Each structure stands twice: as structure tokens, then as C-alpha cells.
């Protein structure tokens, strides 16, 4: 049987878009009445909590409160929806080439899963995307309550595919120490540098473009 393949999301299947994220958070700051630069910094600093604990509204309310504001329900909802719109836009950026690679892998019999360190806005937007239709399972840190590089999140994805982690190939750019985490779970790793190279010293195979992955797996 073709080996199961488990993918990272941002900077692996789609761009991470860090600058656009900061721009959107700065716009959210104006909605809730705090300094844009301060909210951007607060978003960066709260990454561990946003990954596994807070939804979009909780994030806005908590961080605005830390910055001395008490936004109303409508302000919080508007700001959170602004963030959700960003998630939908980013997930829609999956290129035709990337979708074609996923289709080739599925046609070759590879079960596909996703493991993403992602906040609730991404998880909420995922089901309606062209990417989601190509995956057999998806595990988001915000829903699992744990994040990469914890080996348990990789084992959870393998479990949803009904397979052992040792049978799986993990593909990611290397952020969040995801490659060591996958290896610790027993998976074979492939590093992708198509969007960025977050682990230049990680040993093992790497692909400069996702289009090279099917040949590598053969």
C-alpha cells in the first residue's frame, strides 16, 4: 500500500503571509480601540495560548483587555470576523499546482492527513476549501488542545488514518520544530523549501517545490 502522507499547512501548502496577518491585526486594533502596534505585538506574544486555548473572540477580548480596552460585543465580533476573513483568503491561495500534487498522491493510493499549528479561525474555515476536499483527516492544534512538536499530535493524525506513525511520511517547512516532533513520533520526514526554509540544518530529504514530492515518494 502507498504510504500515508501527513502535511503541514502554512508555508508548506500555502504561504504563511506573516505581513498580511500583521496588517489585519492592526486593522482589528482600530475596531476595538487599541494601538495597532501594541495589538500586533500582543498577538505574537500570545501565540502559544491562541494555538490551543482561545477562539477568535476570546483572543480579541483578552488581548484588548490587557491593553487597557473594554470593547463591546459588536466590536469583538467585528474584529474576530475580520480575522476569520483573513483565514478564508489564505486558505483560498492554494495553487493549482499544489492541488494537482495532492490529486496525484491520492490517485496513487496515498492516504492524506493534515497536522497544523493553527488558531480557531483557520480550523473553522478549513472544511469549505478545495484543500479540505483532498484530505482524509485534519488535526488542528486549536481543536486537539496540543501543538507541534508534541509527538501526540502526529500520532493523532496517524490514528485518524488508521495507520501507525512509523508508516507515515511527514512533509513540512520545519517551523515550530515540527520535523523533530514528527521524527520523535516515528515518521519519515521530508522538508519543503518552496515558501521558506525554516530548518536548513535538518538532515534528510528536501524538496524545493511540492511538485517534486510524488517522485520522491516513489
- Residue 1: predicted pLDDT: 72
Longest dimension (CA), the chain: 57
**Percentage of the chain exceeding pLDDT 90:** 98
Do the Cβ atoms of 94 and 14 come closer than 8 Å?
A: yes
CATH superfamily entry for domain 5-15+94-217: HAD superfamily/HAD-like (3.40.50.1000)
User: What angle is formed at CA 177 by the lines to CA 168 and CA 218, rounded to 5 degrees?
Assistant: 30
- pLDDT tens per residue, range 9-63: 999 999 999 999 999 999 999 999 999 999 999 999 999 999 999 999 999 999 9
Assign 216 a pLDDT band (cuts: 50, 70, 90): very high
Helix (H) / strand (E) element for 87: namely: helix 73-91
Q: Do 164 and 151 form a contact (C-beta atoms < 8 A)?
A: no
Sign of CA dihedral 22, 145, 120, 61: negative
Does residue 218 surpass a pLDDT of 90? no
**Cα–Cα distance between 84 and 86 in angstroms, integer?**
5
Q: What is the mean pLDDT of the chain?
A: 97
| Tens digit of each residue's pLDDT (9 = 90 or more) over 138-185 | 999 999 999 999 999 999 999 999 999 999 999 999 999 999 999 999
- Tens digits of residue pLDDT in 90-137: 999 999 999 999 999 999 999 999 999 999 999 999 998 999 999 999
Amino acid at each position: 500500500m502507498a504510504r500515508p502522507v501527513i502535511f503541514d499547512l502554512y508555508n508548506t501548502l500555502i504561504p504563511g503571509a506573516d505581513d498580511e496577518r500583521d496588517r489585519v491585526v492592526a486593522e482589528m486594533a482600530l475596531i476595538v480601540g487599541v494601538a495597532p502596534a501594541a495589538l500586533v505585538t500582543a498577538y505574537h506574544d500570545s501565540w502559544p495560548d491562541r494555538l490551543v486555548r482561545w477562539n477568535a473572540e476570546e483572543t480579541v477580548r483578552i488581548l484588548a483587555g490587557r491593553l487597557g480596552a473594554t470593547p463591546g460585543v459588536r466590536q469583538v465580533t467585528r474584529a474576530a470576523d475580520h480575522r476569520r476573513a483573513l483565514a478564508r483568503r489564505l486558505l483560498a491561495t492554494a495553487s493549482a499546482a499544489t492541488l494537482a500534487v495532492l490529486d496525484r498522491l491520492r490517485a496513487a493510493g496515498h492516504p492524506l492527513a493534515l497536522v497544523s499549528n493553527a488558531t480557531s479561525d483557520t480550523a473553522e474555515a478549513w472544511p469549505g476549501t478545495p484543500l479540505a476536499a483532498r484530505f482524509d483527516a485534519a488535526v488542528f492544534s486549536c481543536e486537539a488542545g496540543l501543538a507541534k512538536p508534541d509527538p501526540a499530535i502526529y500520532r493523532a493524525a496517524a490514528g485518524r488514518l488508521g495507520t501507525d506513525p512509523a508508516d507515515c511520511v511527514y512533509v513540512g517547512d520545519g517551523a515550530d520544530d515540527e520535523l523533530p516532533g514528527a521524527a520523535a513520533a516515528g515518521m519519515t520526514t521530508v522538508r519543503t523549501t518552496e515558501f521558506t526554509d525554516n530548518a536548513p540544518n535538518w538532515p534528510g530529504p528536501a524538496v524545493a517545490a511540492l511538485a517534486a514530492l510524488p517522485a520522491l515518494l516513489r
